[in-house]
Amino acid sequence: MLFMPHTTELIIEKIVAGGLGLSRTDEGVVLVRGALPGERVRAEIRAGRGVQQGITREVLTPSPDRVDAPDLPTTDLAHASYPAQLRYKREFVQEALTRIAKLNHPVAPTVPSPRQWAYRNTAQYLVTPQGLAYRERRGHSAQSVAQDPLLMENVQTVSRLLDTSKLEGVLELSLRGSRLTGEVVATLIAPGEPRQYLKAADELMDCGVVGVSLAAPAGRRFSAGVHLIAGEPEISEQFGEVVCSVSASSFAQVNPEAAGLAYIRAARLAGRGPLAIDLYGGSGAIGRHLAPNFGKVVVLDTDFDALARGRHDVREAGTRNVSFRDGDAAQLAQASLQAGVVIVDPPRVGLSDMARDALHHSSALRVVYVSCDPATWARDVGDLVRRGWTLGEVTPHDFYPQTSHVEVVSVLERRELPTPAHE
């Protein structure tokens, strides 16, 4: 059945996760992009099964928090003032705790990003005949982009100077810049051999890039391997109190200054002790912050490249009490990893049932949970609290100004270990 869009007037009650304005009508809940709490808007609604969704076409009664905003797929909350964005993000976390975890627990004010614009060190573009483009929201069509004000200036400079006609055969382009050094590296996503893209690499190097790599198209980003074409494979970036090596194809937080504030908080919440484990630790950006206060820190991850970068970085820094292991939550039960403190920073899907079981049955009396998704974080926290853990400080951090994304740094503690189950 084809559902035709229609236009209607709505009163927006609140903002929910995803930056959508929620309105209640006689026909049910409607979620509207581009609206703010308290506004009366004219919205185009596409009817369908389940919750209706739409987009704001005209603001009839604007909120005092409304500001002018660029029309980009990357900015779904830029039409709100920055103080309002911080309030909304705290409310996202509070609502997740109440609705999903079923906990009435205080949430601290959102820690702002040091920069509201030009903070993002990474961009991934489609390469089209018309130039660089972003994917449209909720689809695969391209939206040409001349400038993205969220990007660091050095990344913007490369994208502005680039002649995409010289990127023949390239499907996508990933750029990563460093605020610490000012350098930029690039990864071409394209089929074929590195020698086919020497002209493209020369063009990027002429635009100021210090290294170019090639990744084959794959269902999961960069999962088919990355090969260096020219220059340097990695650059250095500062995250809080540590310097890490990053590439255009590696995972690293896109707002290093804001991430650094969260990592410093996580280290404070971890406290002190003989041994800490950094689970889902990647190259150790969080775990290395624990090194001054623990006799030993073990970083566990299953990403070989991230572990290799981490080992390189601690050698360069002269840090002797941080080690890296290929492993996951199952290793928490090993006698050699009897740690009183565990840091977890899982992907957006949160902790699996197995991981929560492993945490609960580990030797840890304290868990510092860093999350990029309030919903899965609240699910996991609610489960651990029902098992006897106590939730302590909960602080949202804004890594992504002008968007609806929010990070959470929190701590859970318990007084005693669980009694082993009888066989």
By annotation, the residues acting in catalysis are 372
Contacts 24+ apart (CB under 8 A), 269-273: 269/366, 269/368, 269/392, 269/393, 269/409, 269/410, 269/411, 270/294, 270/341, 270/343, 270/366, 270/368, 271/341, 271/366, 273/339, 273/340, 273/341
HEC letters along 232-296: CCCEEEEECCEEEEECCCCCCCCCHHHHHHHHHHHHHHHCCEEEEEEECCCCCCCHHHHHHHEEE
| Residue 29 parent element (H or E) | strand 28-33
| Whole-number Å distance between alpha carbons of 378 and 231 | 44
Terminal-residue alpha carbon distance, the chain: 56
From the CA atom positions of the chain, what is the Rg in Å? 23
Rounded Cα gap, residues 355 and 291, in angstroms: 24
Q: Measuring CA to CA, which residue among 290, 261, 304 is closest to residue 110? A: 261
> Is 301 marked as a binding-site residue?
yes
253 is in an annotated binding site: yes
- 308 half-sphere exposure, CB direction, 13 A CA radius: 6
Answer yes or no: is 88 a known binding residue.
Answer: no
Q: Is 221 exposed, middle or buried (CB count within 10 Å of its CB: 0-12, 13-18, 19+)?
A: middle
Across-strand partners of 51?
none
Q: Which residues are annotated as a binding site?
A: 253, 280, 301, 345
Q: Which residues are annotated as a binding site for S-adenosyl-L-methionine?
A: 253, 280, 301, 345
